[in-house]
């Protein structure tokens, strides 16, 4: 027998359902700070207190239509032990408002996006085996460096453990099993690997993580961890460029990876969980090559977390960002951590183009091959080289492009799509960073001084513009 409800009951059901759906649509992840001194003695742990607090403000307790409403256990993402007294949770606006009136509540911060910021570096920095920081520190022997980043590629030779002693007994970390990553991939060098994505998945419940493990699919984490603590690797080079023995700044240190940045995205709550776990595991140093732009210290969860790390005797190093060198381009810069900025280098990688008159033009290049021809190849001047249709008509030529107020990035993008002509670009040496990000291209970046060689005799630009 069918059950019939009065019309006003159905209207109430629909209204409450609409309210809940709207509330969930406006939900977001928050870092919530609590006063641990306010925790009632009835609770056995801060975790159970946080769960009870969330349960008391949950929409599911105040709205009757709850088949699809997350419980307090699902709303809680992480309980933090070291970095803050508090937790992260996925909250609706009404839940956040109610939480603000809960006993022990201090403050909350909405999660914001974070920005992810060689064989010769040690010589450039003046490090040597005879005296100074390296021999005094025994090359960082047994220092445990925790890296919060995109993961790690454990097969890299930078993480070989040749000649390393047993892992220090104070180490409490683990090598977590996951996609394409098993515990046997860790060794006496790479002593730990964990991964964190509960926050990312809480905000994106239908998201599929392609490689759900500490394995690096981006390369950033492998780069930063090998720079900090990579082992000695002889015969390293990039197709002959920069040949030598690569090593990290502390080649005898131990490395532990805490993956909190993913190809699919990132969430600040995961980064805090990674820092929190690193402190628990017993790292000596935390390296974080990421940060928030424009966040005040009191509203920057990373700054607060690193302060907690410093209080517990963990040294923290962060990156200054990749946006400089301009005023206000610095992120991080927290006074209690070491913020590391990029500096100049004392070497260049060069390529050479031989002109038909016997002269040569030398510039910056990382092209990994020699381009030789039994006959002369015409030089074609194409102004700023932004016209892909014109470039298609040229065929196998050496194309000369003028860098006009930072147009090089557009030129390289067009050239990457073409991959037919070879470029010789005249412009400012500051554009070398763009060149290094486009290594496969046959490109030589020359300064104005070198470009004058193409202005003489048979190489007058005015004569060769198509």
Tell which residue, 217, 222, 291, has the closest CA to residue 257.
222
Are 320 and 368 part of one and the same domain?
A: no
Q: Could you tell me the residue range of the domain that residue 390 belongs to?
A: 350-464
**Sequence-separated (6 or more) residues with CB below 8 Å from residue 93:** 23, 26, 27
- Count Cβ atoms below 10 Å from residue 303 Cβ, excluding itself: 21
Across the chain, which distance is largest between two alpha carbons, in Å? 101
Distance, in Å, from the CA atom of 120 to the CA atom of 36, rounded to the nearest integer, reads 49
pLDDT, tens digit (0-9, with 9 covering 90-100), for 407-440 = 555 555 555 555 444 555 555 444 444 445 544 5
Between 10 and 198, residue with greater pLDDT: 198
Residue 254 pLDDT grade (very low, low, confident, very high; cuts 50, 70, 90): very high
Between 27 and 2, residue with greater pLDDT: 27
Final residue of a structural domain among 110, 133, 159: 110
Q: What per-residue confidence (pLDDT) applies to 16?
A: 40
Q: What per-residue confidence (pLDDT) applies to 12?
A: 37
Final residue of a structural domain among 110, 125, 140: 110
Does residue 381 belong to any structural domain of this protein? yes
Distances (CA, A) of 56 to 29, 203, 395: 18, 21, 71
DSSP code string of 163-183: T--PPPTT----B--BTTB-G
Are 384 and 313 part of one and the same domain?
A: no
| 410 half-sphere exposure, CB direction, 13 A CA radius | 13
pLDDT surpasses 90 at 104: yes
Q: Is the pTM of this model over 0.85?
A: no
Query: For residues 197 and 191, is the Cβ–Cβ distance under 8 A?
Result: no
How large is the average pLDDT for residues 181-207?
A: 96
pLDDT surpasses 50 at 8: no
pLDDT surpasses 50 at 23: no
- Count Cβ atoms below 10 Å from residue 120 Cβ, excluding itself: 14
The two three-digit tokens of residue 204, written as one number: 């994106």
Are 128 and 243 part of one and the same domain?
A: yes
pLDDT surpasses 70 at 86: yes
Name which of 209-218, 284-293, 411-420 the model is least confident about.
Answer: 411-420
Are 312 and 365 part of one and the same domain?
A: no
- Count Cβ atoms below 10 Å from residue 436 Cβ, excluding itself: 14
| 183 half-sphere exposure, CB direction, 13 A CA radius | 4
The two three-digit tokens of residue 345, written as one number: 């280098």
CA end-to-end span of the chain, whole Å?
A: 87
pLDDT surpasses 90 at 352: no
The two three-digit tokens of residue 390, written as one number: 């014109």
Distance, in Å, from the CA atom of 229 to the CA atom of 210, rounded to the nearest integer, reads 28
Name which of 96-100, 130-134, 265-269, 382-386 the model is least confident about.
Answer: 382-386
Name which of 93-102, 209-218, 315-324, 441-450 the model is least confident about.
Answer: 441-450
Are 291 and 419 part of one and the same domain?
A: no
Are 302 and 384 part of one and the same domain?
A: no
Between 117 and 466, residue with greater pLDDT: 117
pLDDT surpasses 50 at 215: yes
Does residue 238 belong to any structural domain of this protein? yes
Are 413 and 278 part of one and the same domain?
A: no
Token look-up 């009757």 returns 64
pLDDT, tens digit (0-9, with 9 covering 90-100), for 383-408 = 777 777 777 777 777 778 777 655 55
pLDDT surpasses 60 at 103: yes
**274 by DSSP, 3-state: which?**
helix
Are 186 and 241 part of one and the same domain?
A: yes
How large is the average pLDDT for residues 446-460?
A: 65
Backbone angles phi, psi at 202, to 5 degrees: -65, -40
Tell which residue, 369, 372, 368, 381, has the closest CA to residue 354.
372
Q: Tell me the CATH number at 142.
A: 3.40.50.200
Q: Look at the chain and report how many structural domains it folds into.
A: 3
Are 29 and 101 part of one and the same domain?
A: yes
How large is the average pLDDT for residues 172-187?
A: 98
Are 270 and 385 part of one and the same domain?
A: no
Query: For residues 422 and 385, is the Cβ–Cβ distance under 8 A?
Result: no
Gyration radius from the chain CA atoms: 28
Q: What is the dihedral of CA 62, 63, 68, 73, to 10 degrees?
A: 0
Is the torsion defined by CA of 149, 152, 158, 159 positive or negative?
positive
pLDDT surpasses 60 at 79: yes
Q: What per-residue confidence (pLDDT) applies to 421?
A: 47
Final residue of a structural domain among 58, 87, 110: 110
What own/partner pairs with CB < 8 Å and gap ≥ 24 does 388-391 have? 388/414, 388/417, 388/418, 390/466, 391/415, 391/418, 391/420, 391/421
The two three-digit tokens of residue 360, written as one number: 């040569």
């Amino acid at each position: 027998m069918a059950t019939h409800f009065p019309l006003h009951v159905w209207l109430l059901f629909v209204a409450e359902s609409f309210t809940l759906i709207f509330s969930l649509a406006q939900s977001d992840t928050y870092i919530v700070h609590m006063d641990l001194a306010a925790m009632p003695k009835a609770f056995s742990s801060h975790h159970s207190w946080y769960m009870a607090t969330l349960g008391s403000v949950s929409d599911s307790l105040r709205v009757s239509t709850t088949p699809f409403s997350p419980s307090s256990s699902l709303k809680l993402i992480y309980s933090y032990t070291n970095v803050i007294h508090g937790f992260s949770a996925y909250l609706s606006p009404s839940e956040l408002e109610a939480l603000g009136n809960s006993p022990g509540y201090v403050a909350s911060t909405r999660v914001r996006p974070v920005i992810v910021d060689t064989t010769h570096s040690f010589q450039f920095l003046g490090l040597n085996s005879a005296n100074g920081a390296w021999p005094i520190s025994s090359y960082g022997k047994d220092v445990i460096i925790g890296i919060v980043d995109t993961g790690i590629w454990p097969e890299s030779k930078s993480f070989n453990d040749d000649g390393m002693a047993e892992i220090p007994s104070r180490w409490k970390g683990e090598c977590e099993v996951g996609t394409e990553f098993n515990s046997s991939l860790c060794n006496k060098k790479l002593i730990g690997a964990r991964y964190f994505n509960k926050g990312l998945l809480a905000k994106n419940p239908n998201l599929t993580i392609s490689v759900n493990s500490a394995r690096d699919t981006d390369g950033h984490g492998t780069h930063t961890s090998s720079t900090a603590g990579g082992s000695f690797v002889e015969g390293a080079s990039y197709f002959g460029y920069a040949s030598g023995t690569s090593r990290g700044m502390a080649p005898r240190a131990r490395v532990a990876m805490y993956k909190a940045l993913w190809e699919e995205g990132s969430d600040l709550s995961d980064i805090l969980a990674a820092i929190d776990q690193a402190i628990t595991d017993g790292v000596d140093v935390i390296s974080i090559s990421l940060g928030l732009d424009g966040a005040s210290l009191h509203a920057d969860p990373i700054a607060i977390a690193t302060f907690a790390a410093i209080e517990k005797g963990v040294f923290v190093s962060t990156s200054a960002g990749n946006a400089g060198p301009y005023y206000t381009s610095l992120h991080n810069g927290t006074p209690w951590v070491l913020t590391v900025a990029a500096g100049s280098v004392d070497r260049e990688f060069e390529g050479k183009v031989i002109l038909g008159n016997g002269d040569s033009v030398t510039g910056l290049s990382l092209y990994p091959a020699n381009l030789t021809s039994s006959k002369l190849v015409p030089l074609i001047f194409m102004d700023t080289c932004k016209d892909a249709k014109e470039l298609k008509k040229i065929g196998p030529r050496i194309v000369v492009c003028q860098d006009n107020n930072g147009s090089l990035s557009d030129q390289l993008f067009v050239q990457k799509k073409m991959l037919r002509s070879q470029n010789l670009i005249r412009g400012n040496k500051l554009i070398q960073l763009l060149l290094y990000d486009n290594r496969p291209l046959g490109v030589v970046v020359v300064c104005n001084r070198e470009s004058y060689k193409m202005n003489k005799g048979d190489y007058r630009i005015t004569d060769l513009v198509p």
